[in-house]
Structure 1
């Protein structure tokens, strides 16, 4: 959990200092309107009204965190990799399909993944040397 949570915080810092608008903000409301008639429609509409901001497109944190989870699955739970990889591939492709990201955002997410993963892992190791309460299984 530490690596994932720290990676999210790093991405939020990147998005705060370098806000990049994704493609969905350039389409008319009719093209990005949430279809009605399903169970989660009210929740999706509320999230879009409250939480959607025109920042955080580059690099794609969705792609990066997805790849980090694939890597962690490969390292620690290899028997699940056959299930995780197809889901990850669909998630990565869907970010462009639903117009949340441009293809360059996906490429950026792929390229940033090892950098942010290694930074987070090194920070975890550094903190665990000096802080006795850090649990090793949190990595």
Structure 2
């Protein structure tokens, strides 16, 4: 996956690159009410390893495998933990003949989403330290 951006600012050996986010469908559809074709600009911070100046065009490349693994972590872990927690808590509470099993299972599932947030935050912190080679910048 690759995208082009423009260096908008430079500060303390870091550059701030503005990228235009592409729409999810890739098509412009006037009749669609979702407005997914609207492109938005986003600003990202990178170390200035390219000696880039303000106004330079840079290309960012990422490995597809890394993108897929990040998506699984962000979407898969909370979903799996949520479903597992609701199922397990419902099963255990039904064996103990508790009241309001459904509500209590839902509350346990919501708590599991908070726990998954903490897990993802820890994984993200670990990836920031170890996976420096997943994002490549090139000066154009």
Q: Please report the TM-score for the alignment, with normalisation by the length of structure 1.
A: 0.28
Larger radius of gyration: 2
Instruction: Report the structure, 1 or 2, having the larger strand content.
Output: 2
RCO higher in structure (CA 8 A, sep ≥6) = 1
TM-score normalised by length of structure 2: 0.28
